[in-house]
Amino acid sequence: MSEAFFSKEAIEYLKEKYPHITESMFNGLLNQFGLVEVQVTTSVGEYDRSISSDHKLIMPAEISNALGIDCEIVMPDINALYHKPVDDVSLVDALTYAYQTLHKQGKSLLTIELEDETSVPKVIYKGEEVTKKVHVGLDWETSTESFAGGLTYSIEHFEFDEMGYPIMNRIERRIKGHATN
């Protein structure tokens, strides 16, 4: 048993259009949804004449939106396919990428996870994990009629400059009533 895989020429074409998608993801999509052959024809008298044939990779909008690609990808008239044994690739990469992309669409500004009282907090700020943390602080107060409430968060962490020297960085925001303190 064999599965279809895009040729090197087809992968180069696809990677030029969608550089964020890996070869195995494209091949997973191909095997999940297949290619549709599109014949371009012209009429000559009473006969139709095939000029060229293109291929389309057509997938549901939910998947194309999650991956950030068109739901119909027209392949130019190139040798688009070849076959190899099924054991060489799985569909897991395409599905994993789609899940991660869908998850990121609803990403939070700031996520702080603490496994237990003695662990180092895991901090994700604007979708990126902050490493080399020195201090993590969060203060939130509710707003009432007589009190503005507010939010303050600060994250101190090290980064390294071009010369390899450590630099202390601080991400800090003060919102509403906390902005005036």
CA torsion sign, 70 to 72 to 77 to 83?
positive
End-of-domain residue from the set 83, 105, 127: 105
Please say if the pLDDT value at position 133 is more than 90: yes
DSSP state letter for 12: H
Per the structure, the count of domains in the chain is 2
Mean predicted lDDT score pLDDT of the chain: 78
The answer on 80 and 23 residing in a single domain is yes
The answer on 118 and 81 residing in a single domain is no
Instruction: Please check whether residue 125 is in contact with residue 110, taking contact to mean a CB–CB distance below 8 angstroms.
Output: yes
The answer on 101 and 125 residing in a single domain is no
List pLDDT tens digits, range 106-115: 567 898 999 9
List pLDDT tens digits, range 14-35: 888 888 888 888 888 887 887 7
The answer on 171 and 95 residing in a single domain is no
End-of-domain residue from the set 76, 105, 134: 105
129: β partners: 124
169: β partners: 157
Range of the domain at 164: 110-180
The answer on 162 and 80 residing in a single domain is no
DSSP state letter for 180: G
Of 39, 96, 30, whose CA–CA distance to 59 is shortest?
A: 30
